[in-house]
Structures are given as structure tokens and as C-alpha cells.
Structure 1
Amino acid sequence: MRGQQTPGGVERPSLRASAAAFTSLVALAATGLVAGPAVGAPSAGPCALPRTAAHHSLGLDTWNGSYPKPARTLDAVMIFLSFPDSTPLTGTDELVADYFPGTGDFFRRASYGRFTLRAHPQREWIAMPRASTAYGIQRDWDTGRRTQYLRDAIAAANEKVDFSRYDIVYLVADPDAPGVDSDATKVVNLDHPLSVDGADLKRVVTVFERHPPDRNVLAHETGHVFDLPDLYHRPTDGKGDWDTHVGDWDVMGSQFGLAPDLFGWHKWKLGWLERRQVACVQGPGSRLLSLEPLAAAPVAGGTLGTRLAVVRTGPGTALAIEARAATGNDEDTCTEGVLIYRVRNEAASGNGPIEVLDTHPRTEACWDRSVYPPLADAPLAVGETFTVPEDGTRVEVADRTRAGVWTVKVTVEEGRA
């Protein structure tokens, strides 16, 4: 999170048997697991960057098998935790409504209906053994206290929850408990997976949001469960602007963004865009493309046209080009047009793996709504041209049809790609 990110009768092994293993767990938030096993990605091609050991690498020639791939229906359990120093003031039904069906709808739209996130809220409070203030809950959480929190939560819930049935675990704390800090909401990766109910629990989403929560916060955290990186820039002193890398463009940058649909590169990585929907521009020379709006639902029959264009600029870098319009997850966007951004496969989560190029550096837009107005008008409009300073790639927006398809000319200089 960004600062201000059982079938009946089935016997289940006791958590007691795995308690010893859990005491040695090291919980790492937004750092975490090693690169993980590689799983082939049929969408790979000459413009696909290779996956690296960087945390949440945006290389997509292979899939990191340590993470569930959202290419099917995934089941998520929501567990509500209360504390002895506070009586919950908000009902679990209200808390469920804070996140679902909204989060599921976000991913259904983003995936063009290819992925379903199915929530299983437990709808009763699970009592934690310690006061909320005993855990020291905060953004940069002490590892020992965080481990204690997870151990207590899973032990308390294990009497009622069969963890083996679920792909994702959301631990939702009582938002009114005095020790709960909303800035601590995040995904915790387990250095040593915990064996619970015969399944390996590799990561947990710890939710400490107030009621009502930050907009799209659970979509952001769930993105990490699918190996997507933080796209915001965290100032070294904690002060300054967090949104200089991507602004409103992608929920992994800001859950408050006006155009939070996932970048086309993310959708390609997750398998929601196939290779035939990605135009690989190999130079030198010019190529005329028709780009459908990234967030638009498929046309009748469920077919998708080209949604992303890519220019490979180096062994670990690429330019991505996509059309953004006021539809789907982007219906509240500040501006429409053709967005250009740079992708780096060796940049870890939070270190700028994606940077949006500001094609209007002297202006800004929607200062009263945008998370970062200088990038709110980053897209190119019809009739505009932008040349990328570093490599000379030129992007020219020639037209937009009545159906909303953008005609874009991409020119690559000799010797550049």
C-alpha cells in the first residue's frame, strides 16, 4: 500500500503441527521471495523482455510459478479479526461491501472477463489473543511483531477456516481497534511458506483500512499477489510526491488514480492480452497501427484487436504505447489519448519499473482531482507527435474513429530497434 499500499466432516491437520516451522518464518513486505520457478509464457516474442531476479520483475517471457496466475477463477477467503481491547463498531457485512463486489468487478473488467476473483467472507469476528496495540502495527513493521500477528491470526482462524480451499488469504483487522494503522495494509510474503491444512501458505494480504477504505486499495494489494510491482516512487525521507513515475495511470501506482486500469504491459504479463493483441514494432522505419482503448470491453463475440504496441529499446528495456479512454476501469480519466511509457525488467518493485513519458511537460491537468497533475495530460491527442528523447522513436496520433479506435504511426530510427 502506498503511504499518505471445509467441506463438512473433512478432517484437517492441527496448526500445532506446523507451529515450530512458523516460528522461524521471516515476513518480508514488498521484498520477499526468490525469483521462483519459471513457467513458460506462450505470449513471449521478440518484444517481450526476459524475466529477471528483480522483485516483481516486469519481464514476461516466463511466469514466476511462486505466484498464482489469474488465468482462471481464484478463490479468496476474507477473515475478520477482532481484538480484546476493542469491540467492533462496524459489521462484517459492511466491511465485505467495502471490497466486494468492487474488487472482483475491477479484475473482471481489467481481464476482459478472462479472470474471476471469487470472495469467500467468513462473516464472523475471529478473536485475536492479544490487544491490537501489542502488535506495533505500522507501515515499516518490526518483523518479529508482524510474525506474531500472522501466527496469532492464522492459529485463531484455523479452527473455522480450511486454508487449503483458497488461493488468496485476506486478513481484515477491526478498523476501529486503537492499534490498527491503515498505512500498514500490504502483502506479506513468507520467506518460508507455512504449511496449513496440507497447503503451503506463501503470502497473506493484511488489511488495516479504515471504514470506508481507500478506493481500489484491495485491487492494488491483490495485484501484488499476482506478481505485479509497486509503481509509485517512495521519497527517501517520506516527504514529497509519491506519484511521479506513473501518476493516475494504473492502480499499482495509486489506488486513488483517475485511470486505474492496469497497463497493457501488466495485462500482457498476466496473460489477459495475447501476442496477437500486442504489436511488436521492429525497425527501422514506420508502422501504422490501430489501437483499441485499453480499458474497453471486447466487441461483440469477445474478440480483442490490438491493445498494446511495443518497441524494444534494449536488452532489458522497452517502450509501450497504448490508448486510454473514458471507459471501463478508466471511466473517470482526466484526459484521453495515446499513452507512452518506458518498461525496465531489472527495476524492482518501487524502483521505477514503469515510467510514463510526459508528452506535455509544460502543462498539467485536473489539479483538483489528479494524484499528480503534471502527468494527468501525459497522453497524446489526435494531431500530436512526440519523439522520445533517449532513442528517437516518434509516435504520431493521426486519427480517432467514431468507434474510438486510435490510428497511430510509430517510427523507429535506423539502428535504434
Structure 2
Amino acid sequence: MSRIRKPEVHVRGQQPPGGVERARLRASAAAFTSLVALAATGLVAGPAVGAPSAGPCALPRTAAHHSLGLDTWNGAYPQPVRSLDAVMVFLSFPDSTPLTAPADLAADHFPSTSDFFRRASYGRFALHTDMQPEWTVMPKDSTDYAIRRDWDAAKRTAYLRDAVAAADKKVDFSRYDIVYLVADPDAPGVDSDATKVVNLEHPVTADGKDIKRVVTVFERHPPDRNVLAHETGHVFDLPDLYHRPMDGKGDWDTHVGDWDVMGSQFGLAPEPFGWHKWKLGWLEPGQVVCVQGPGSRLFSLEPLAAAPVAGGTLGNRLAVVRTGPGTALAIEARGATGNDRDTCKEGVLIYRVRNEAASGEGPIEVVDAHPRTEACWDRSVYPPLADAPLGVGETLTVPDDGTRVEVADRTPAGAWTVKVTVPPPSL
């Protein structure tokens, strides 16, 4: 969903047990780095998404909505490991004359959305979108549909069926994997906070194809940054990572802050988490380090958003520690490049993953490596997590887990040298 919010200043409380230790690692960075090649032989690579056997660090998919289990792919959703075709339809209403041309509204979202996914997928996924050149007129006034964030189901269904029926005269829906319905932003009944993906219990059939979900766009012109990348993520079975306060008040971004577009389309570091990339099929076994304990492992991590080097080589992009039947700890490097070029802080980011937590219920929670401080208060959606990553020479013992993450070095090429120590199981 789209959300209209502004960054706020937050004051942190006391540091919990297991915070950052600022002392440099005892071993020198050079010696530590030289051990990586030897230590890596003891690491177990994680599985590719959709593989019959996902390996020991992958969580199984559950019945939770947009479950982050990734041992199998949910066939109800298109997997973005190939080119997908989308159509963008522009809807006007009898009670309003549009003030903006369809081409200008299309330019609000493309090519930026396609570029976002091209970078995030390392070029493995291409989103091709056909833009309808003219307005499609709806049969009813905009106010008749009672459009709003928590939309009446009957009104919403009527809107979708009317939209598809009206557009079917010009659009061959059988050609497309994704449908974007863009409403005239200046129509009186259009609520810009209502943008969302609608999953249809009873599909709409057009041109012999069952349309099971539709991206309904009600954005202003210009729209929220990265809003269509967020909504398209839902089309690929990715969950909302924000926390929605029950009373509508309070902060939405306490779970992941700026990290990942599924948390906030306004975030400074919107690159999808490595776990999401693993689920979507953008990371292969060779890019996922499975750390099995107890004991210590040494490895290097390339910045998650960095483009492949010559020849398409990615290197390690994600490390995973399995912490329970349905939980894991994920570790990745975030750098100021690609979709993360505006990030507040570079470093090694740690987060918890839960496969039984549904969309919007905290399936991912970032571990704050600097709980006493905040950063980028004038730009961040949640300053307390803007400085969450570990820097060189820092150590974090994860609270309530005991896993120890140490960052020893960063190479001139930008890779981070990391040591993870998994404690023995408690008796």
C-alpha cells in the first residue's frame, strides 16, 4: 500500500544487552582476510529459489500471506526470473476532465520501475510495460466507487470489473502478466492513499484469461517515490515489511526502517533484502553462504546492490544462520551504489526472518547495531535504524540469539570481510 508520511526525529532509550563493541578485532584485517579462502571450504551454500531441495538454511514456505519461506515457489504468482509483460491502463470518470495526459502519468513510473528491477535482479528480470495512449472512460462517477485505503469489498470489485470491461475494447489482456489500472489523480473521488494490489478471490475473465490480481494506482502527479516498485513486489509474492499501528497513529517503520522497498517506498536504501532476492530467484547457491554452527566461519560479502563484475560474477551477497524451525538470521553488506546510492550508512546489515509471519506482521526485523544512536534524521523514514549496519572493526552479539557478527575489513574493491560465530545450543 501507499503511505503518506514524513520523517520524524526519534529519541533512543538505553542500549540492550549484546550491543556493539567498538574495539578493533584482535587479528589484523590483512591476516583475517587471507583466511577467507581457506575458511570458505567449510561453508555450505544455500539453495536456489524453486529448487527441489532448498538446503539447511532455507526456511520452508508456510500458509502465511506472502510467506518468506523459500523452499518452493508459490505458483499463484509470476516469478520474476524472465521477462514479464505488463499493461498500464488510464481510467477517467464522467465527473471529471483529466488535467494530465496519460503519457505524463506513465512517465511518473516508467522507465524508473523497470530500471529498479533490472538493477535489483542483476539483469535477470525485465519488466516490459505497454502504455495505453488514451483515457479509458469508466461508466460511473469517481465518487460512486467510494475509493479509499480500506475499501469496501463490493465497491472495489465493482470498480475492477468496470475497469476491465471498459478497457477490454482496446486491450488484449491475454498478452499480459501484470495489469496496472491508473486512475485520474484529479478526479474528486480518487484517494491517493488507496494504491494497492488487489487479489481477487473470484478472478475477472477477459480475452480468455483469468485476471487474479490487479495493481490499482491512485497516486498524485508526481507520485510517491518507488511506489510502483513496492506494489509490483506484491505481485511477486513479497510481503509488506512495515508495521501498521492499530489506531493509525505512531511510526510505521519500526521493523526495517529505510531498508528494502517493501518497508517503505520513501526509504533511502530501497534495494530488496538479500532474502527477498533469494526467494525471487535472483541469487543462486553460489551467492548464499549457509553458516551452520556451532563455531566460527569467515567469508566475504559483496555489497548487495552492486552490479555484477565483468563476466556476470556476483560473489557472496547473503549469509544465513538458521536459528529455529521457522526463523533465520540474515547478514548482508549494504553500500552506496545502485538502488542504494542514497543510503544513510554503509556496512553489514543483520536482520531476523520469520516464515510464519504474514505480510504486515513483521516477517523481517532489522537488528539495530547502534541502538543508542540515530542518523539522517532529516532524510530517513526512521532515523533509529538508519545507522543499523556494522562498520569495519565493529562487533555485534545478536540479542536473544547469541550469534556474534564481526566486521574485520573492507577491501579496496568494496567487499566486506565478516566473521560469524554461532554459539553451542543451550542445554
Taking structure 2 as the reference length, the TM-score comes to 0.89
Q: Is the 8 Å Cα contact of residues 2 and 232 (structure 1) preserved in structure 2? A: no
Residues 288-322 of structure 1, C-alpha deviations (whole Å, 9 max, x = no match): 11000000000000111000000000000000000
Aligned length: 383
Matches of 1:204 and 1:339, distance apart in 2: 33
For residue 87 of structure 1, what is the aligned residue in structure 2? 97
Matches of 2:146 and 2:202, distance apart in 1: 22
Residue 14 of structure 2 is aligned to residue 4 of structure 1: no
Instruction: Provide the aligned C-alpha RMSD in A.
Output: 1.1
For residue 303 of structure 2, what is the aligned residue in structure 1? 293
Matches of 1:104 and 1:322, distance apart in 2: 24
Q: What amino acid is aligned across from residue 222 of structure 1 in structure 2?
A: T
Aligned positions of 1:6-25 closer than 5 A:
none
For residue 155 of structure 1, what is the aligned residue in structure 2? 165
Aligned positions of 1:266-345 closer than 5 A:
266-345=276-355
Aligned positions of 1:185-196 closer than 5 A:
185-196=195-206
Question: How far has the Cα of 1:84 moved from its partner?
Answer: 0.5
Matches of 1:148 and 1:213, distance apart in 2: 25
Aligned positions of 1:375-386 closer than 5 A:
375-386=385-396
Matches of 1:329 and 1:193, distance apart in 2: 34
Question: How far has the Cα of 1:42 moved from its partner?
Answer: 5.3
Structure 2 residues not aligned, in runs of 5+: 6-48
For residue 10 of structure 2, what is the aligned residue in structure 1? none
Q: 1:284 to 1:103 in 2, by over 3 A?
A: same
- What's the % identity of the aligned pairs? 83
Q: Secondary structure at the match of 1:125?
A: strand
Q: What amino acid is aligned across from residue 285 of structure 2 in structure 1?
A: R
Matches of 1:42 and 1:111, distance apart in 2: 22
Q: Is the 8 Å Cα contact of residues 43 and 271 (structure 1) preserved in structure 2? A: no
Q: What amino acid is aligned across from residue 336 of structure 1 in structure 2?
A: E
Residue 259 of structure 2 is aligned to residue 249 of structure 1: yes
For residue 238 of structure 1, what is the aligned residue in structure 2? 248
Matches of 1:40 and 1:166, distance apart in 2: 23
Which of 88, 93, 99 is residue 78 of structure 1 equivalent to? Answer: 88
Q: 1:205 to 1:341 in 2, by over 3 A?
A: same
For residue 156 of structure 2, what is the aligned residue in structure 1? 146
Q: What amino acid is aligned across from residue 315 of structure 1 in structure 2?
A: P
Aligned positions of 1:65-214 closer than 5 A:
65-214=75-224
Whose relative contact order is higher, 1 or 2, with alpha carbons under 8 Å and at least 6 apart? 2
Q: Is the 8 Å Cα contact of residues 106 and 329 (structure 1) preserved in structure 2? A: yes
Structure 1 residues not aligned, in runs of 5+: 6-38
Question: How far has the Cα of 1:43 moved from its partner?
Answer: 7.3
Residue 415 of structure 2 is aligned to residue 414 of structure 1: no
Question: How far has the Cα of 1:195 moved from its partner?
Answer: 2.1
Q: Which portions of structure 1, spanning 4 or more consecutive aligned residues, are displaced by more than 2 angstroms?
A: 2-5, 39-43
For residue 269 of structure 2, what is the aligned residue in structure 1? 259
Matches of 1:308 and 1:2, distance apart in 2: 28
Q: Is the 8 Å Cα contact of residues 43 and 275 (structure 1) preserved in structure 2? A: no
For residue 32 of structure 1, what is the aligned residue in structure 2? none
Residue 250 of structure 2 is aligned to residue 221 of structure 1: no
